Structure 1
Amino acid sequence: MRWRFAAVPAALAAVLAAPAGWVMSAGAAPGCTVLQVRNIGPGSVSALYRVVLPAADSTGLGMLEYRMNALGYSGSQGLVYGMAERGPFGRFPDGAHVVALDPAGRAHDLGPVRAAARLLTAPKAGAIKGNRWYVGDGGFLYAVDVDPTSATYLSVLSMTAIQPWHGPFALDDFDVDPVDGELYGVSMTHHGLPAVVRIDRGSGRVSKLADAPGLPPSGYGSVVIGPDRALYVTANQVGGLYRVSRDGSVTRLAAVPPMSSSDAAGCLRQTPPPSPPPPQPPTTTPSTQPPLSTTPAPTPTSKLPSQSSTAPTPSRIQPSTLPTSSRPSPAPPPEPGAYAPPTPEPGADHAGHDTKEKRRWALAMLLLLIGGSAAVRRLR
């Protein structure tokens, strides 16, 4: 039935000597994030929520296997400790078990509290200061060791009676003030009015600080002291989330449904974001695009008339056989000792004359031979 808070804004500022984990941004209201359990019915298991304050934004994280209460947050461990009953309508035979919740809401059963004069069966209030978890159960204030390195881990170190237990106060929850280290909560008085109260950790004495007439009559759980030292509380039976100052002034933050009990713990430690990797030097990647051509584009010509669909398709010419010029290559020169073939005279027409010319030349040659032979005989 109590709350605590973890800082949400990123910029850190000193807040009334608040310990590390409380944060506020410049020009903005201080805030923190808490884990809250809501127990709707008398024997139901707990519904787990993450709540951002003071915006009162709630995010459901699911249902737990237990009915939990008396939550306290250990900032050094980053864990929320709570007392758990086995639900629904069941209890562990060895008393309430300690269940640790990580910031993601995963639950880990750590077993019962040890070395107690009596079993802790249904603790309602809880808060952690350092390695001491203060738990209110049955009119007694217990100090439980939550130092994992200690031989007395999860053992009761002291038990103090809360005074006056049957007096005007009915205390459902409390939280530790980060400045004076005392416990504070909201309780109903014999006048039927809620009041801000303080519980001395050493003596268990309860004293009223101020009436809070702006609160409706109800039991108040999920008590968390924020970075501004105000109490953020939930009205269990009538519903509603409120901010209560030490002077008793009240501000309603949000509507929440009525429930049989509730508790919360924070402010959850915020994990800083990882540092960005150093910038890499720019690398020049060779372009795979072909260089732009500076040749002007050809002037479009008129379209040729379309060919008939029956015309043969020309075969593709391989690039290696493409001609390099439209002019014919000159003939190679003749080799030494050879003769070039005769070149026909341009425009000569030999058709029909070759046979006659050959006969005339043969007859002329024969007459020359005969005449030459006769002349030789005469000379002899």
Structure 2
Amino acid sequence: MNTSQIWQELDRQVTAGRIPGYVAAVRRAGIGEVHASGRLSFDAGAPAMLCDTPFRITSVGKPLGAALTLALIEDGVLGLHDEICRWLPEFAEPAVLREVTGPLSDTGPADRPITVFHLLAMTAGWGVLLQDCPLQSAIDEREIGSGPAPPQMTGDEFVRRLAELPLAFQPGAGWLYDTPVKVLSVLLARAAGMQLGDVLAQRLTQPLGMADTGFWADADRLPAPYRPVGDGVEDIELPDGAFVRPPLFEDLSCGLVSTAPDLLRFFSAMADGGAPVLHPESVRLMTTDQLTVDQRMQGLPILGLGVSWGLGVAVDVEAVSPWMAPGRWGWTGGSGTSAHVHPDGSVAVFLSQRELADAQDGFDDFWAAVSVG
């Protein structure tokens, strides 16, 4: 496996000052390689990146959350089409907006219950609206929207505040991003009867040997977070204690910390059929397109061209870019992270600390190099 071209491309990003450093991993034909370069921050004398440097992986945690859910389904703890009000009675009778941009008082009853499937498929009726409207304003006022860290409250409080608001559409009728996995995080803990971190460890990270994956890490090991501004970057101010101590809300949608070797283990296990975490049938279900054409169009600003959604993961349906292929799956995190599995079984993981400028920003040069390297 010749990965020198891949690392050279990423090193150019460091030399150009776009990122202070990175860790990446590639597996082809069953052989994996992890490479680290640069430093933890732009500060002079900052520690060097190491292959086991932990990163805030933000939305790259969603595939892990999906696999954990499907593992608990295999165990009989819950069912894919179970109503979520079994564990989240707060959502027993949700109201639904008649128009997504309309007043919060103009609602009707839900015509079907919200299910676990709706949470994984992002079709529950909650999510990032990408437009100014009363519902988005109410989400912002309650501090339960999406961001670089989990909401600063317990999962129970998050659910309580969310339940005060109507759905944007009838369950199963549309597609909106992110919030359903926050709800799922609370549901899994309640269904299992223990802290979500313990469930994650017992059913996913320990069986796969992912010792550096969890909801927090030592502060001196974490890279400094940045966001792009103009031609440069600026520091990101995270909530006090975020990612460096046990959180109030263990949130699988954006709250996990992991390393390139750990993520390579996870995605490689899924690429090889799921053992020892999942059966192959569950992996196939997770990585199969679950959206209608209309839902995919609604998700276009987040998903991008040629991409649909399975259960907790994005799925390529067209080869719009040279590195894409129908059936390729994975996802990207807003903190500058990405991981995908190609239909040929190859796996690639990229971890940086430069937040994406928007949903279609990213490190295309990395994926182009992976596709030919």
Greater share of helix:
2
Shorter-normalised TM range: under 0.3
Greater share of strand:
1
| TM-score normalised according to structure 2 size | 0.24
Between structure 1 and structure 2, the one with the greater Rg is: 1
